[in-house]
Amino acid sequence: MAGKVYLVGAGPGDPRLITIKGKECIEKADVVVYDRLASPRLLKWMKQGAEKVYVGKLPDRHTMKQEEINQLLVDLALRGKTVVRLKGGDPTIFGRVGEEAEQLYRNGIAFEIVPGITSSISVPAYAGIPVTHRGIASSLSIITGHESPDKLDHMIQWDKVTNATGTLIFMMGVAKIGYISRQLIAHGRPPETPVALVRWGTRAEQDTITGTLADIEEVVKAADFKPPAVIIVGEVVLKRQLLKWAEQLPLFGKRILVTRARNQASQLVRQIEELGGEPYEFPVIDTVMPTSTQVLADIHQAMNNLSQYNWVFFTSVNGVEFFFRHLNELGKDIRALAGARIAAVGPATAGALRERGITAEVLKERFQAEGIIDAFGSELKAGQHVLLPRGDLGRNWLPEELTRMGLHVTDIKTYETILCGEDDDELLKLFEEGGIHAVTFTSSSTVTNLLRVLERMGKDAQAPLRLLRDSAIACIGPLTAETAKAAGLNVSIMAEEATIDSLVEALCAWNKDEPRRRKD
């Protein structure tokens, strides 16, 4: 039985701008056929085992001819596959979706066209240019600028197009900008008509230049401005000075690697996005339940004797989550902790406890193990019993210090931290091209594991340091920074407090000090 093909518009680049239906199609696809104008982050939604096929085109070479792409979709569907053809922007606007759909129709293959947000309107919007504006432009034309001058003249009736609408949008016309400008002037547009070119709109590489029909060709040459870009011609371009909202965001222009476990990354990813940055999720650690019989026996023994503890110190959100998993498995609840004082290292850990009905004592500063001694040292008495529910990579300093003070310490490893991180060719490419502007580390294990994964992917012991040489290194605290420095990394961004909020604030301060975008 033949499969089905979904011809899906991926939107302009920011993966959040894909439609809900487009995302659902990716999630259920057996195969995703994509090109370079579709964000690679969209592929993270593919189900495990799904196949991805790159058919992207570059200005100087084609990976696969359009006719071959058409036949590929047919062949995949005839094998019973659910196929997504992921196309940048909207597939019906210069996306050649009609050719692909016709080939599917002729071969009896079921298909759907899933519209996307076209870059012809969204990219200008991200540059602060509304394509229509009351009193300035009440209509617009979307025109291809990709062809040779001869083809452009054949396809475009310059005498009619030039003044047909208030705003003219040319797609993929950077290389022909001089010819386009001269034709528009020759057919009646004033030479002083404002023009803008927006490159890689909605992405970290978004860049905008402005000029007039008379000088835009020289502006493009002087800036060495490369495709892909959208060209906007018309008075609406002047609104950019007031409306360029995206470029005012604190992390605009920065692609930031997030290495923490996927189940913990959402807060950091969300804040980066809200502040105008582009997060690239590449979790290199995962946390799992212990498998060792002895470790599980130690946990169960501690859980069955919770009433004996005077103190329970939670040092991380993971420590809280896995502690309560074990507690639930044994049929117990928070009443078992009634006799203990409960303290949390950091506000995030305290928040995780609060969600479970426990208001913990929170360290006011030094959100690490040493802060426990600073905060409670005078109240920690010899002979008291302390429970430390934490992971297998926890430092020995705290249990050793408590033992030295005469307390009885039960240090249970409620979870294990394991290495993860699949080979990611797109990430390697971004590193090589300087496209990862900052790398965030939220624990020592994220440092060591990223270096191990990069060494494996780069097939070279020196690969990690080489790949990371152009990226700013951002650490959540001094212990993580020490690990990074010991590995040979140059730490340039440090959170004042060991919290995600503080790390994001440090990233914003760094971006403010090191702007990378031209101002026009």
Residues 260 and 236 placed together within one structural domain of the fold = no
Q: Is 35 a catalytic residue?
A: yes
User: Phi and psi at residue 63, in whole multiples of 5°?
Assistant: -65, -40
Query: Could you tell me if residue 519 is left (phi over 0), alpha (psi between -120 and 50 degrees) or otherwise beta?
Result: beta
Catalytic member of 172, 254, 303, 413: 172
- Evaluate whether residue 250 is within a structural domain: no
Asked if residues 448 and 487 have their Cβ atoms less than 8 Å apart, the reply is yes
User: Phi and psi at residue 501, in whole multiples of 5°?
Assistant: -60, -45
Catalytic member of 14, 35, 90, 411: 35
Q: Is 171 a catalytic residue?
A: no
pLDDT of 58 = 54
Measured CA to CA, the distance from residue 64 to residue 367 in angstroms comes to 54
Residues 438 and 472 placed together within one structural domain of the fold = yes
Q: Which of 14-23, 257-266, 323-332, 491-500 has the lowest mean pLDDT?
A: 257-266
Catalytic member of 4, 21, 44, 57: 57
- 384: how many CB neighbours lie within 10 A of its CB? 17
Question: Looking at residue 46, which CATH number applies to its domain?
Answer: 3.40.1010.10
Measured CA to CA, the distance from residue 432 to residue 416 in angstroms comes to 33
For 81, the 3-state DSSP assignment is coil
- Evaluate whether residue 398 is within a structural domain: yes
Is pLDDT of 437 > 90?
yes
User: Phi and psi at residue 308, in whole multiples of 5°?
Assistant: -85, -10
- Evaluate whether residue 133 is within a structural domain: yes
- pTM as predicted: 0.86
The two tokens of residue 158 are 């310059």
Share of the chain above pLDDT 70, in %: 96
pLDDT class of 365 with cuts at 50, 70, 90: low
Average pLDDT over residues 324-333: 90
- Which residue bears the tokens 């036949």? 71
Q: Which of 38-47, 87-96, 485-494 has the lowest mean pLDDT?
A: 38-47
Looking at the structure of the chain, the number of domains it has is 4
DSSP output for 181-249: HHHHHHTT--TT-EEEEEESTTSTT-EEEEEETTTHHHHHHHHT--SSEEEEESGGGGGHHHH--GGGS
- Evaluate whether residue 444 is within a structural domain: yes
Residues 414 and 425 placed together within one structural domain of the fold = no
pLDDT of 217 = 97
pLDDT class of 519 with cuts at 50, 70, 90: very low
In this structure, the strands spanning 472-475 and 491-494 are parallel
pLDDT class of 364 with cuts at 50, 70, 90: low
Q: Is 172 a catalytic residue?
A: yes
Measured CA to CA, the distance from residue 315 to residue 330 in angstroms comes to 22
- Evaluate whether residue 146 is within a structural domain: yes
Q: Which of 14-23, 48-57, 200-209, 237-246 has the lowest mean pLDDT?
A: 48-57
Reported as a single tens digit per residue, the pLDDT across 216-254 is 999 999 999 999 899 999 999 999 999 999 999 999 999
Q: Which domain holds residue 505?
A: 255-284+420-513
Burial class (CB in 10 A: 0-12, 13-18, 19+), 445: buried
Closest-CA residue to 199 (of 165, 182, 224, 233): 224
Decide which of 418, 442, 470 is a domain's last residue: 418
